[in-house]
Amino acid sequence: MKRFVCLLLSLLTLGGLTACAGQTTEATEETVLSAAAPAETAPLPTQPPETTEPEEETTVPTEEATQPVNPSGGFVDLTTLSSTMVYAEVFAMTSSPEEYVGKTIKMRGMFSKGQLYAADGSLADGGTVFACIIQDATACCAQGIPFDLAGDYEYPQDYPELGAEITVEGTFEIHEQSGVEFCRLRDAAFV
């Protein structure tokens, strides 16, 4: 009886293997055929597909809004660019800040508040900083530019809710505080 059960199991196993072998051959032939097909297929697009983000309200552009992003000029308006281009420009601003010093920057992003590190690397009295955070098109990466509002403002009553969308405009500078340098917009205002 044991021999009969072993023989039956062996035959079932072999039958299962031979049944799969026919499908593997066909799949391999399909793979070979599709590997030879790229000459007949359409070329891949070089531009990313359009996203289906909701359209913003249309407004009549002002003189300032129609000026292009131009780091060599005096005004850089990031509010007229796509999310990908804004993220790239903010990355350029943080990578080569000396090219933007003294220029007026207008940007739209998410309001954020944070603490500055002291020179020794601790949070001990490093100060509070407010920033406009820009996310890339997929919202997986973010860059932020801190800002210092012109005038006498107190947090939280004079600031928007954390995470709210803001538009801020100010003069780009490299600021030093407690031995730490960082970029920021000084004399900024919410617009």
- Does residue 113 fall inside a structural domain? yes
- Does residue 55 fall inside a structural domain? no
In angstroms, the Cα distances linking 189 to 75, 90, 168 are: 15, 18, 6
The pLDDT tens digits for 156-191 are 999 999 999 999 999 999 998 777 788 999 999 999
Residue ranges with strand state E in the chain: 75-77, 104-115, 128-135, 142-149, 165-177, 180-190
Q: Is the pLDDT of residue 25 over 50?
A: no
- Does residue 66 fall inside a structural domain? no
- Does residue 148 fall inside a structural domain? yes
- Does residue 3 fall inside a structural domain? no
pTM metric for this prediction: 0.60
- Does residue 31 fall inside a structural domain? no
- Does residue 87 fall inside a structural domain? yes
- Does residue 150 fall inside a structural domain? yes
CA distance 156 to 135: 24
| Domain of residue 97, residue span | 75-190
The pLDDT tens digits for 129-160 are 999 999 888 888 888 899 999 999 999 999 99
- Please give the average per-residue pLDDT across 118-131, as a whole number: 77
CA distance 92 to 94: 5
State how many domains the chain has: 1
Q: Is the pLDDT of residue 107 over 90?
A: yes
- In this structure, what CATH number is given to the domain that contains residue 119? 2.40.50.140
